Amino acid sequence: MQAIRSPQILMLSGIGPAEELAKFDIPVLLDQPGVGRNLSDHGILYHTWKVKDLSAGWTLGSSNPLFNEPQYSYGTPGDFIVSTDVPKNGLIAAIAEDEGATPDSATHPLLANKRTFTEHVPIYAAAPDGSLVTSVLTTMLPTSRGSVKLSSADTRDPPLIDPNYLGSAVDRYMAREGLKLQAGAPGFDEVLSENSTNKYIGARLRAAMRSGYHPMGTLVMGAVVDTDLKVKGVEGLRAVDTSVFPVPTTGHLQVAAVAVAEQAARIIYASRA
């Protein structure tokens, strides 16, 4: 039922942190503190840039004949996505701030190999006269974790979601580096540049970062479900959606969600009789 509603349904059914259920007088069938914890999401920032030279033909609305091609009339007028790592020195400092000790670059999971930290999509439109262009920045490897809690005992009410975007030094560093990379592209105005201070860029991120619609991890495999997707401590109940992801995927979730569903079908089929 997806990583927001699945923990809500479990909690409303009496499976979850006892103190959370007690707030709404829900009888506790299983005190499971992990339900609704460990939420992660890819944060997204849309930033609109003023184009310095309209005649350069960077945007829909300019005189560039490229944008008369039909593909730029359907959906989002963009044509590539690029994923990037982040510079390691700053990353080491951010990890040290979060973890209280200098990490070992050879073994730390964020340092030992190249990783996808940010994703960038240019959108060649934002104003009819072609004076603006939009960039999309997505943080792909968040280390902060949020939560899903109950707002009431009524299944029709949305739960309380705390995504905790930019909640760790690593997340703030990754987002800042991603935005600086975009600001370094030639031809944009100077309101925000690669030389802007961390404080200035951080304020922009805090003001505008929002959900990438990729919630995951709220019934995390290990703590809440086992490797057969069974909810631990409960007979005959499985969770099959992005809530079981133990760590954030560094790609969009659809493929991994379908893979979990197909694997679940195999597990359930094999367990018959």
Residues near ligand FAD, by CB under 6 A: 1-2, 5, 9, 213-214, 241-242, 252-254, 257
Minimum CB separation from ligand FAD for residue 80, in Å?
A: 15
Q: How far is CA 99 from CA 66, 105, 108, 229, in A?
A: 49, 14, 11, 30
Question: What SS3 state is found at 46?
Answer: strand
Number of Cβ within 10 Å of residue 80's Cβ equals: 7
Closer residue to ligand FAD (CB): 12 or 51: 12
The answer to whether 110 and 95 are in contact (CB under 8 A) is yes
The number of residues in the chain equals 273
Minimum CB separation from ligand FAD for residue 5, in Å?
A: 4
Closer residue to ligand FAD (CB): 98 or 119: 119
Minimum CB separation from ligand FAD for residue 192, in Å?
A: 26
State the Cα–Cα distance between residues 220 and 36, nearest whole angstrom: 9
Closer residue to ligand FAD (CB): 204 or 252: 252
Signed CA dihedral, 165, 167, 170, 176: sign only: positive
- State the residue for tokens 């003023």: 50
Minimum CB separation from ligand FAD for residue 214, in Å?
A: 5
214 is catalytic: yes
- Exactly one of 42, 47, 120, 214 is catalytic; name it: 214
DSSP bridge partners of 216: 40
Local structure of residue 131 (DSSP, 8 states) = -
Closer residue to ligand FAD (CB): 2 or 84: 2
Could you give the residue numbers annotated as active site?
A: 214
